[in-house]
Amino acid sequence: MLDIKDLQVEYTVPGGVARAVNKANLNLTEGESLGLAGESGCGKTTLGNAILRILPEGGQISGGEINLDGIDLVELSEEKMRRIRWKEISMVFQGAMNSFDPTMNIENQIAEAILIHQRDTSKETALERARELLRLCGINPLLGKSYPHELSGGMKQRGCIAMALALQPKLLIADEITTALDVMTQAQIFTLLRDMKRKFNLSMIIISHDLAVLAKNCDRLAIMYAGHIVEIGTIQDIFDHPRHPYVKGLLFCIPNFAGGRKIIAAIKGAPPSLLAPPPGCPFHPRCPISISECKTAAPQLLSVNTNNHSVACYRKDYKGVIWK
Amino acid sequence: MESSRRRIRLQIHDLLNLWRVFRANPMGLIGLAMLAFFVAIAIFCPVFSPYDPRDTVGEFLAPASPAHILGTDQLGRDILSRVLYGTRISLLVGITAAAISVFIGTSIGLVSGYFGKAFGEVLMRFTDMFLVMPQLALMIILAALLGRSLFIIMVVVGVTSWPWMARIIRSEVLSLKQRPFVERAISIGCSDFYLIRKHILPNVMPLITANAILTIPWAIVSESTLSFIGLGDPTAISWGSILSGAFSNSAIILGLWYWFIPAGLAIVLLSMSFALIGHVMDEVLNPRLRKRGV
Amino acid sequence: MSMHKYILRRLIDSASTLFFIIVANFFLFRLMPGDPIKLMIKSYRLTQSMIVRLNQLYGMDKPMWQQFFIYIRNMLTFDLGMSFRYHTPAAPLILDKVGNSILLLLAAITLAMSIGIVAGLIAGWFHGKPIDISLVTSSLFFYCMPTFWIAMVFAAAFVTILPISGMHTLTLYNASWFGRLLDLGKHLILPTMVMTILYIGEMLILARNEVSNILTQDYINTAKAKGLSPRQIIFRHVLRNASLPLVSNAGISLAFLVGGSLQAEIIFSWPGVGRLMYGAAMARDYTVLQGCFYILSLTVVIANFLTDIAYKYLDPRVEY
């Protein structure tokens, strides 16, 4: 359904040009839920924004394709893209606090999405549908007349989900949707999301830095580092058989409640500057098992089994202990 | 001893930084250049002006000519000389009145913001009341009641424009009070005076400075307005009074542009020089305020 | 906070502010060096009946606190005393002219807000680019112009094209109502233009700053993701949010604007409260001065109240 090939996104900043996404390759089948993980600044939000083509000022897609059911979104005119936005692909953002216009009530803003794309719908019908969506998402439809500041964070986020589902899109992108919420609300929101996914047969891309959340809610997982996708595969494959040194390090950081005592390793160093990235693999300065090839050319994403598990690393077959 | 020397060095370093950022903005530099120009005129006007501004030196209402570049007014006085000398009054009254207004406004703003609840609320009401009164109307009444002298003008302008400053300072102090470092200081047991002096005042100072400069254009314009209306010091040479003469002698209808354009333009340009500087200072100082506060 | 509760709170607020003003007005005139009321009585030749009336009105021979209560009563019933200059009651003199001043103020505010918001929108959208810088600089330029001077320049420039004096052309006395309306419009143009220029700078800078701020907000990003075109985003989301500070500022600036209208009225001989006040100041007609001041302050209080209500309607977030 969604096929991203060699996507490149750059930001023009006062210091130069920063490559936020570097030759990203992803695909998504219908009804599948893909997690996109990585630390802050790795490019996952940029990737999400690029799919919808809502990059902020200074950002542009400098290469690659984003194929949605055969149509390349990168090549589309802005006007055509606007018709695709929300109708085929919609998004739920992190700042639920501010995703709604403070001077309009909730149901009007949801109805707005409907009215923009389906011109011949009457206002009343659109409002009815909006209220129905709120009900589906666990909000009392009568609260539709409330203003954003009158709702709690969790309710606002539910409202955002309701709004995202207004046009029954094929793909829903959830960008760090629960980062600002407490753990209980987080669980509720994701339960809601799973229900909606089943009900509407949605494909989803869930962007988060929280591996636990992704493990619970995704079928497949892609890990990004400094703009590169370094490993991608099923949840089982990634958690049980990680191949990339960085991913192994990440998983090693998770304390084990059930098992015995484990020494938690730290990955020394910091992510590279995107303005002047090191040549070759972006992770090699911090990688304990890097070899000379790692410094010259960035490794390609190569398949390691039949289950669509791919890794971008020259040392993907290394079996020893990397992190102590 | 050592710490105070360090503090002074730090402050000079801060000022130099400030200057560097200020210098980068062309608007501020233009303002500074304009101001320097006017100050030079104010100081050296006896040298520059062709005639004594108070003497009758030519025909009444003579048009612009090489002898009198801006013509003469209804009493035969050279207009150019009068315009040049007017710089002194505008600068003097403008800065003094602004100073009075800033002093009153800051004090009331500080106090009403810091001592919240009852006392602060009452002060706020008092300030709001002043804000509702049309300033020009109040100035006219006060000037009419108190008489006509330069000093009175300064006081009148100063006393009617403080609410603006008070409001700004008050809201800043209120927000500062909420900041963690203030709460911590209070929990340690600092006295009110110490808090104000050490924590609140330094953080409010940039705001005060930028806004103080922005008060000056208002003071200059107010003084010229009062002089125009006829409530200024009759012996002082003010741009407003030049314009008043122009108005009452039908300069508008007769199109005697040389009489009323230069004087008015001078008011605008002098005010603008302060406004540009103040505007840039505002942009320069504000982000620092946020950084330093935490 | 519900609208009703808000209106009630603001009503109480306005009433208390008004009370403060009345009190201040009282003391202003009584405590000045050389009580002006008494001075007036001495300097103007007043007939016996006038002195009696004055005593009635001001209670000149009664103790201060009694004078105060008489004064409050007078203010509330709009009994504003006698004009010393004209020897007629001051109230009708002033109230007659209020409508004219309000007409001018309304025209100017409407024009300034509309142009200000559009220009501010452009400046904010293109933040930092040349058009923004030139718009901001022009605003500062206009802000520093004394109103009376702008008025003089405009009057001189348009003296042959538009009327520069008064509100009506006397010779059109028996013309049709449409003709007279048109004539009023012609007379209104210059004073309104002058006052608009006075106020537009402030509106522009406010709008521009607010627009710059709004464009960085998340809900604008959401709107873009929803598929709204830039035009739709501006009209549905930016404008409404951007006009908020302008509306709240309009209320606060009204006092400042009244000062501007005063000057415009003087230059253009517009028969409003401002021009009346000017004449009264020159003639030291203190009763009329005091009355004008009261009426003007009252107008500002009422206007503030109305703008606060309008603001609450636009921005549901606001609490008392």
DSSP calls for B5-41 = HHHHHHHHHHHHHHHHHHHH-HHHHHHHHHHHHHHHH
For the cut 70, the answer to whether the pLDDT of residue A51 exceeds it is yes
Q: In what order do the strands lie in the sheet with A33-37?
A: A89-92, A171-175, A203-208, A33-37, A220-225, A228-234, A310-311, A302-303
- The better pLDDT of the pair B280, B227 is held by B227
| Contact across the interface for B260 and C262, Cβ inside 8 Å | no
Which of A102, A116, A147 faces C227 most closely, judged by CB atoms?
Answer: A116
For the cut 60, the answer to whether the pLDDT of residue B287 exceeds it is no
CA distance B212 to C227: 46
Position B99 scores a pLDDT of: 92
Q: Over range A193-207, report the average pLDDT.
A: 89
Q: How many contacts (CB atoms, under 8 Å) link B and C?
A: 142
Number of domains in chain B: 1
Q: Is residue B62 part of a domain?
A: no
For the cut 70, the answer to whether the pLDDT of residue B288 exceeds it is no
| Contact across the interface for A101 and C221, Cβ inside 8 Å | no
Residue of A nearest to C222 (CA): A99
Q: Is residue B61 part of a domain?
A: no
Residues B242-256 have pLDDT tens digits of: 898 888 888 888 878
Token pair listed for B14: 């801060």
Residue of C nearest to B278 (CA): C140
- The better pLDDT of the pair C82, A270 is held by A270
Token pair listed for A22: 């570097």
Q: What is the DSSP string of B213-252?
A: HHHHHHHHHHHHHHHHHT-S-TTS--HHHHHHHHHHTTHH
Could you tell me the sign of the dihedral formed by the alpha carbons of B67, B70, B76, B77, in that order?
A: negative
Position B216 scores a pLDDT of: 92
Tell me the residue range of the domain where B189 lies: 2-56+67-292
Which residues of chain A form CATH 3.40.50.300? 2-218
Q: Is residue B18 part of a domain?
A: yes
Distances (CA, A) of A302 to A33, A287, A317: 21, 19, 12
| Contact across the interface for C227 and A87, Cβ inside 8 Å | yes
Identify the residue among C226, C228, C231 best suited for mutation to test binding to A, counting A beta carbons within 10 A and taking the highest. Answer: C226
- Provide the 10 A C-beta neighbour count for residue A76: 16
Mean pLDDT for chain B? 81
CA distance A283 to C170: 88
Token pair listed for C265: 């009225």
Contacts of C28 in chain B (CB under 8 A): 141, 145
Residue of B nearest to C22 (CA): B129
Residues A209-245 have pLDDT tens digits of: 888 888 888 999 999 888 888 889 888 888 888 888 8
pTM over 0.80, yes/no:
no
For the cut 60, the answer to whether the pLDDT of residue B294 exceeds it is no
3-class DSSP state for residue C275? Answer: helix
Q: Over range B54-78, report the average pLDDT.
A: 78
| Contact across the interface for C152 and B252, Cβ inside 8 Å | yes
Contacts of C290 in chain B (CB under 8 A): 141
For the cut 60, the answer to whether the pLDDT of residue B290 exceeds it is no
> Residues with Cβ < 8 Å from C134, sequence gap 6 or more?
none
Could you tell me the sign of the dihedral formed by the alpha carbons of B209, B213, B218, B222, in that order?
A: positive
A75 close to A260: Cβ distance less than 8 angstroms = no
Contacts of B247 in chain C (CB under 8 A): 148, 152, 267
| Contact across the interface for C144 and B217, Cβ inside 8 Å | yes
CA distance B143 to B152: 7
Most confident of A278-287, B87-96, C60-69: B87-96
Based on C-alpha coordinates, what's the Rg of chain A?
21
Residues B158-182 have pLDDT tens digits of: 888 888 888 888 888 887 777 777 7
Banded pLDDT at C39 (limits 50, 70, 90): low
Against chain C, the chains showing at least 3 CB pairs within 8 Å are: A, B
Token pair listed for B23: 């210098």
For the cut 90, the answer to whether the pLDDT of residue A255 exceeds it is no
| Contact across the interface for A82 and C228, Cβ inside 8 Å | yes
Position B292 scores a pLDDT of: 32
Residue of C nearest to B124 (CA): C17
Q: What percent of chain A has pLDDT over 70?
A: 94
C135: closest CA of chain A, how far (Å): 22
Identify the residue among B122, B145, B161, B243 best suited for mutation to test binding to C, counting C beta carbons within 10 A and taking the highest. Answer: B145
Mean pLDDT for chain A? 85
Query: What CATH number is associated with residue B142?
Result: 1.10.3720.10
| Contact across the interface for B137 and C153, Cβ inside 8 Å | no
Against chain A, the chains showing at least 3 CB pairs within 8 Å are: C
What residues are paired with A224 via a beta bridge? A229
Position A42 scores a pLDDT of: 82
For the cut 70, the answer to whether the pLDDT of residue C51 exceeds it is no
Residues of A contacting chain C (CB within 8 angstroms): 52, 54, 56, 79, 82-87, 90-91, 93, 95, 97-104, 112-113, 116-117, 147, 149, 160, 163
Structural domains of chain C sorted by starting position, each given as residue range(s) with its CATH number in brackets: 93-284 (1.10.3720.10)
- The better pLDDT of the pair B266, C74 is held by B266
Residues A278-320 have pLDDT tens digits of: 788 888 888 888 788 888 877 877 887 777 888 888 877 777 7
Q: Over range C212-229, report the average pLDDT.
A: 86
Mean pLDDT for chain C? 80
Token pair listed for C232: 């739709």
C11: closest CA of chain B, how far (Å): 14
C2: closest CA of chain A, how far (Å): 12
Residue of C nearest to B254 (CA): C156
CATH topology classification for A2-218? Rossmann fold (3.40.50)
| Contact across the interface for A86 and C225, Cβ inside 8 Å | yes
Position A270 scores a pLDDT of: 78
For the cut 80, the answer to whether the pLDDT of residue C56 exceeds it is no
Contacts of A103 in chain C (CB under 8 A): 240-241, 244, 314-317
> A-contacting residues of C 238-267, CB under 8 Å?
240-241, 244
Residue of C nearest to A114 (CA): C226
C227: closest CA of chain A, how far (Å): 4
Residues A155-170 have pLDDT tens digits of: 888 899 999 999 999 9
Position B289 scores a pLDDT of: 37
Banded pLDDT at A173 (limits 50, 70, 90): very high
For the cut 60, the answer to whether the pLDDT of residue A250 exceeds it is yes
Residues C127-179 have pLDDT tens digits of: 777 888 888 888 888 888 888 898 888 888 887 777 777 777 766 666 677 77
Residue A15 phi, psi dihedral angles, 5° rounding: -85, -10
For the cut 70, the answer to whether the pLDDT of residue C45 exceeds it is no
Strands A203-208 and A228-234: unpaired
A73: closest CA of chain C, how far (Å): 14
Burial code of B32-67, b = ≥16 C-beta within 10 A, e = fewer? bebbeebeebbeebeeebebebeeebbeebbebeee
Based on C-alpha coordinates, what's the Rg of chain C?
24
For the cut 90, the answer to whether the pLDDT of residue B100 exceeds it is yes
Token pair listed for C173: 């006395």
Contacts of B257 in chain C (CB under 8 A): 156
- The better pLDDT of the pair C231, A324 is held by C231
Token pair listed for B54: 């108070």
Helix C286-314 × helix C273-282 angle, to 10°: 150
Position B293 scores a pLDDT of: 27
Banded pLDDT at A265 (limits 50, 70, 90): low
What residues are paired with C71 via a beta bridge? none
